[in-house]
Structure formats: C-alpha cells, structure tokens
Amino acid sequence: MQTAVYDKLSYARVMSRATSVLLVSRSRRMRSLLAELERVADTDAIVTLNGETGTGKEVLARFVHERSTRRSAPFVPINCAAIPEQLFESELFGHERGAFTGATTRSIGKVEAAQHGTLFLDEIAELPLSQQAKLLRFLENRQFMRVGGVKKVAANVRVICATLRPLDEEVRARRFRADLYYRVQALTFSVPPLRMRREDIAPLTALLLEGLRAQHRLPPPRLTRAARAALLAYEWPGNVRELRNALERACLLRAGRPIRPVDLPIVVAPLLPATPAPIESHAPTLAAVIREAIESAIARNRTLAQAARELGVSERTLQRYTARGSVRRATNNRGTLARDDVEHAAVGAARAARDTAPHDSLVGGGQVHVHGRPRA
C-alpha cells in the first residue's frame, strides 16, 4: 500500500473513501491492523472490530469492503443501538404488506438491501437478548423471512460487526449470548485509540482541515505551532471524531485566519485564557507565546509584582529578565509602570526568548507588534 497525497480531496470524497483516511496513517499499530484486514478482506468470514468511540470502526469496515470482491455492491450500515427492540426484526429483514398496523406495502430490510455486498452491524453489543437469537439464526444459515412472510429468502452478504465494549466481557455479564459470541469472534481486531498513535494526529489533522475547507467553502485553514502542540498533547478520549469536531469549531470561528490554541475547545487547551489575546501572529513561536503572556499581564496590572503574581512566577524571575535586558523594571514616580516601559518590557521579553532558544527550536524571526505598532 502506498501513501497518497490528499491535499486536493473534497470533504465528501474524504468521507466516502475509507482508504483516504487510513492511508495517511504513520502508526505502526495502525499499519499492522490494515495489513491484517487486507489479508481477510477477500473472504466471506465475519469480521468484528472492537474499539473506543470515534476510532473509525466504520471507516475500517468500509476499508475491508473496498478491498473485497464485493466492492461494487452496496455497503449497508445499521446501528443496532438506535433501533427500538420491537422494530429491529423489521429493520433487519423487512416486512410484508399487512404484517402490522401501518404496513401498507412490502418493505425490504437492511439484509436484502446489502445483497451481494456488505452488511455492517455497528454496536452489536447493544442488541437485546431477544433479538440476538434471531440474528444468530440468520448468521448460521444466511436465510431469513420478512416479518409477516412465509417464504425464506437467501442472503448473499458479508457481515462485519463493531462494538464499543469487548464481547467476552458482555458474555460474562450475561448481556450477550455465548453462542452468538462464538459465531462472530473468530476474526476480532482491536482498533487502537488516537492517544496510542499520536504520530497520526498531524496527518489526520491536515486531511480533516482540507475536508472542512471544502465542506464549508473556507479559505485554506492554518494552524499555529502552539495550536499544533496543543493537539499533540491532548489525550483525545473521543478519538478522530473529537479531533474533527475541534477542528471544525476552530475553522468556523477563525474563517481563514491562523488557528491558535485559544480557538480550540477548552478541554484541548485548558491552561490558556478563554478570551483571545489582543495580538495576532501569522507564525506564532515560543517568543510569541511569551510575548503575549507578558504583554497581557503587564497591560492589566500597574506594577511588576502584580504582573508576576498573575503569571504565576516570582517577581525575582522577572527581575532576572531585567538582568538579561529582557524586561526593564522601570516605574514612574507613582511606583507604576509607564506606557513606554510596558512596550519595552514586552519587546525585551520576546528578544530574550528568541536569543536564548536553541537554533532548531520553534522560535522564529519576524517583527514584534506591541499595541498594534511594529517594533524592531
């Protein structure tokens, strides 16, 4: 499998082609999983995918479908958790006219709709025990009867299951039938969460941003280095789904301007202020982060001591900047910081951060802006 370049893909194409998302993966775990799925794709064996919410189980199911000889036939998903117990059999197998009140015409079910293709049973562990028996009977003989019907219908479908909770634990808790478990567990694959494959966050982010740009017709979105660092540091309990939602929020709020940490949901960047800083940089660096923090603190306080308390550092720490020429503790005759001194302090702090950072660090060049005016 070769990794393709996806920066030209529209959102619809990204979401409709499973390989678009999967081929950008750099994770060894994910690559190994894809290789295993590809080996079993061209068979009719039942595949079960076990993973946390948002890990992309349906995307992987589509990957298996697209790698099989059934790729030209339908891929039909059904969310077992979203169907009321009394309607499950009708949804899965269809019904005949007059089978129940309101059944004015014959209706085919998901199994019949997936004929010669793939039936994806999402959240199979959520099926009520009474419906699990009916599903087991279908899986064993690949025949079914529509609700209200008397004739058996043969089904030529490939079945892929997905579950949030391990099925063996559900069997021990008596929430899942053991006989159904043994029928679907032979080829069970665990999908790693995003926090266990952090190397995939950057390529997934680039792909999702391009998709969101196309979906919402926005200028090409850009991430600042600080925002990228926040994305990489977060645990992502909601996995790829949560990542996409966070990026969508930021893209819509910024509308083409560089996305900063403060534009991400507060859970992603919890240590940052809830309101954006007054300074906007097109290439935020370590120096910019320090500069923004110091500028904001000094602008809100009348003395260096008060600014230090707000920043959570000692006044002596800021005095060490003074010794290096980065922050000049100058006060007027009232003991407060004058406006010019505020500007000199902020500029000095940025210069100090730039001068003391390693050559290959995130600190870059560029002008320093204080109160909307460029300073050398």
Q: Mean of the pLDDT values across residues 357-373?
A: 40
DSSP 25-60: ---HHHHHHHHHHHHHHTS---EEEE--TTS-HHHH
Strand partners, 108: 94
Query: Taking the domains of the chain in order of start, what are their residue ranges?
Result: 28-191, 286-375
| Average pLDDT value over all residues in the chain | 77
For the chain, what is the total number of helices (H) and then of strands (E)? 16, 11
Tokens representing 375 are 């300073």
Q: Which residues contact 3 (CB under 8 A, 6 or more apart)?
A: 23, 24
Q: What pLDDT, on the 0 to 100 scale, is given for residue 296?
A: 65
Q: What pLDDT, on the 0 to 100 scale, is given for residue 23?
A: 67
Amino acid at 3: T
Q: How many CB atoms lie within 10 A of CB 115?
A: 16
Helix axes 28-41, 57-66, angle to 10 degrees: 40
Strands 118-122 and 107-108: unpaired
Q: How many CB atoms lie within 10 A of CB 35?
A: 10
The CATH number corresponding to 28-191 among 3.40.50.300, 3.40.50.2020, 3.20.20.80, 3.40.50.11440 equals: 3.40.50.300
For residue 169, pLDDT over 80 is answered with yes
Q: Do 273 and 262 form a contact (C-beta atoms < 8 A)?
A: yes
3-state helix/strand/coil string of 85-134: HHHHHHHHHEECCCCCCCCCCCEECHHHHCCCCEEEEECHHHCCHHHHHH
What pLDDT digit, counting tens, does each position of 305-332 carry? Answer: 776 776 667 777 665 554 554 444 444 4
Q: What pLDDT, on the 0 to 100 scale, is given for residue 6?
A: 33
Indicate the pLDDT class of residue 19, thresholds 50, 70 and 90. Answer: low
Q: What pLDDT, on the 0 to 100 scale, is given for residue 357?
A: 44
Lowest-confidence segment of 62-71, 206-215, 343-352, 361-370 by average pLDDT: 361-370
pTM of whole model > 0.85? Answer: no
3-state helix, strand, coil in the chain (%, to 5): 50, 10, 40
Indicate the pLDDT class of residue 290, thresholds 50, 70 and 90. Answer: low
Q: What is the largest CA-CA distance in the chain?
A: 98
Q: Report in angstroms the alpha-carbon separations of 143 from 86, 94, 151, 181, 329.
A: 20, 13, 10, 19, 83
Tokens representing 127 are 């099926």
What pLDDT digit, counting tens, does each position of 224-267 carry? Answer: 999 999 999 999 999 999 999 999 999 999 888 899 999 998 78
Q: Mean of the pLDDT values across residues 346-359?
A: 47
Q: What pLDDT, on the 0 to 100 scale, is given for residue 287?
A: 53
Q: What pLDDT, on the 0 to 100 scale, is given for residue 367?
A: 40
